[in-house]
Amino acid sequence: MRLARSSEHDPVNIGNPTEFTILECARKVIATTGGASKIQFEPLPPDDPKQRRPDISKAKRLLGWEPKVDLESGLKLSLEYFRRAVVEDKAQSA
């Protein structure tokens, strides 16, 4: 909301600068959900970035913002949210 209310018109990265691989992310998703999904490896596109660590210095400077939730905690919060949403949706549909 701070960004929307600001006078900034250029892009501002509000990602998380903690770098992790897609494989690490996939493994954490499976572990967090208790899923039995299998990870499938595919060739990377030629223009795929090798590093995905966003520079959030502009967000810090302009907005006083930085992430407060790590990947694992965010996955758990997201899972809880979607589980509740599914239960509520089923209750409304009944």
Q: Is the dihedral of CA 15, 25, 52, 70 positive or negative?
A: positive
**pTM of the prediction?**
0.73
Please report how many Cα atoms fall inside a 13 Å half-sphere around the Cα of residue 46, on the Cβ side.
Answer: 0
pLDDT recorded at residue 93: 85
Q: Are 12 and 4 contacting, i.e. CB atoms less than 8 angstroms apart? A: no
On average, the pLDDT of the chain sits at: 91
- Domain range enclosing 66: 2-41+49-93
pLDDT recorded at residue 87: 87
CATH of the domain at 13: 3.90.25
Instruction: Find where tokens 């930085």 sit.
Output: 66
Q: How far apart are CA 94 and CA 89, in angstroms?
A: 9
pLDDT, one tens digit per residue, over 34-80 is 999 999 999 989 998 877 788 999 999 999 999 999 999 999 999 99
How many domains is the chain partitioned into structurally?
A: 1
